[in-house]
Amino acid sequence: MLFIIACRNLVVNRRKSFAALLSIIVAFMTLSLFEGYLHDVKEVYDGIFSKRQMLGDIIIERKNSPNPGKAGMTTDALSPDEQEWVAKQFDPNVVRAHNRFLNISGIAASGTSRAIFIGQAFDPDQGAILRSPEYLWNTFAGNPLDKEKDPYPLQLGRELAEVIGCVPTNPTPEAEIKCTDPIVQLQVNTESGQANAMDFKVTGLMSTGFGEMDARMAVLPLATAQMLFSTHRVSYITVGLKTRDQVASWIKTFNEAAARDKIEVSAEPWQQHTFGDLFRQSIGFLMVFRNLVISIILVVVSITTINTFVKIVNERMREIGTMRSIGFKPYHVIVMFCTEAMLLGITGSVIGLLASVAAAKLCNLSHFVYNAGIMSEGFVFRIELHVFDFMWITGLIIILTIVATFLPTWRATKVPIAVILAER
């Protein structure tokens, strides 16, 4: 009965409830769209590290390495025997791809230009699998290493390429490379102190997404880099699994096998590695920013909703007095008003959900590009809505409206019936 009365009151007092309904819709849209934007930002950052930089899901390197991720050709790097043992642990039913990396550095010289490079070498084919599909083609001019047929290909970062004298012929993805001298000589020192040099052809220009890295980045096929540095070692190995929910169990099994066979290697998620420091810091900052924004939104919406319901209750004091005079208990009145608030919260959430979906689609279709802080290139503004967000936002709004209604209604029920009817 109280539910029926509450439904009727919503219809009869629809004009009075419109302000509250509008504030609920705005609150729902603001929270859901903001959460959707943060979901997309986190996925973008995750994609940059796991796919664009080919970290996959797991990093394998020397156990208790003094310089995680920075091993060169020293004993900190993995030997051929250790690489062979690691390769035997890869089950093709679980592992999607694995890639070996070698950290490299030296001097790049072309004509009269010289620059220090700090880069990496990897297996091109496995790297392509880890990057796919979003970053499969990882050059903005020329070809990726896995597509290049030249026996000595070289990829350069955007800023380093400009120093060497190489620029794209046009701004399109199909651009070719125009170099003052297409041949670049890499001059390096091996682990034994020997000075080696080889000539390479610049076959691709790339961007890591970070300007400081692009100013020094040079990328080679692993086999060629090992020849240049006279080594068979690799700095670390990355592993991409077919499903991420297997990461923890795979790492546990791998580390137990390494300990059993006395192999001095260990595996861990890249998010917990030093490579993930920037990712963790960025996401941590986003979460602080998220909590601050959500707190501000909730405070504003709470004040607006409470003021609206206080006004509604005050305007309906005579109705409350009449209900009390014909036998309704105070808790009946409170339940009825709270039911109205709940129905109002549900209605506003449903309308807000539909409006949020429409707004997200419009934003995603706009393809608006913005600069993302330390990133060296713009990103498309997108909103990725999640069903779970709709659920918790709806629950939060319903609780908020009920609390906002309960307080003034409870206070109104404390006023004597005679006083209410006499004043109204």
**222 lies in the same domain as 328:** no
How high is the mean pLDDT of the chain? 85
**33 lies in the same domain as 69:** no
Q: Identify any residues that bridge with 239 across adjacent strands, giving them in sequence order.
A: 56, 98
**87 lies in the same domain as 221:** yes
**108 lies in the same domain as 230:** yes
pLDDT 10s digits, 232-286: 999 999 999 999 999 999 999 999 999 999 999 999 999 998 888 888 888 888 8
Stretch (H or E) spanning 97:
strand 95-110
The pLDDT value recorded for residue 116 is 92
Confidence bin at 420 (pLDDT 50/70/90):
low
**234 lies in the same domain as 200:** yes
**242 lies in the same domain as 332:** no
Is residue 330 included in any domain, yes or no? yes
pLDDT 10s digits, 48-69: 889 988 999 999 999 888 778 7
**347 lies in the same domain as 419:** yes
Instruction: Tell me the backbone φ, ψ of residue 372, rounded to 5 degrees.
Output: -105, 75
Q: Among residues 4, 36, 7, 28, which one has the least CA distance to residue 395?
A: 28
Strands (DSSP E) found in 125-231 = 141-142, 153-157, 166-168, 177-179, 183-189, 195-206, 218-221
Q: Among residues 51, 129, 120, which one has the least CA distance to residue 95?
A: 129
Of the residues 235, 263, 291, the one at which a domain ends: 263
**305 lies in the same domain as 246:** no
Is residue 72 included in any domain, yes or no? yes
pLDDT 10s digits, 102-114: 999 999 998 888 8
Distances (CA, A) of 393 to 19, 298, 349, 350: 19, 11, 8, 11
pTM confidence score? 0.80
Of the residues 263, 288, 322, the one at which a domain ends: 263
pLDDT for 135 beyond 60: yes
Domain count, the chain: 2
Q: What is the mean pLDDT of residues 174-202?
A: 89
Token digits for 25? 């819709």
Is residue 272 included in any domain, yes or no? no
Is residue 269 included in any domain, yes or no? no
**285 lies in the same domain as 398:** yes
**332 lies in the same domain as 419:** yes
Is residue 164 included in any domain, yes or no? yes
Of the residues 234, 263, 292, the one at which a domain ends: 263
What is the span of the domain harbouring residue 220? 64-263
pLDDT 10s digits, 325-348: 777 787 777 888 788 788 888 888
Instruction: Tell me the backbone φ, ψ of residue 151, rounded to 5 degrees.
Output: -70, -20
Strand 58-62 and strand 265-269: pairing? antiparallel
**326 lies in the same domain as 190:** no
**319 lies in the same domain as 393:** yes
pLDDT for 356 beyond 90: yes
Token digits for 288? 């602080």
The pLDDT value recorded for residue 212 is 77
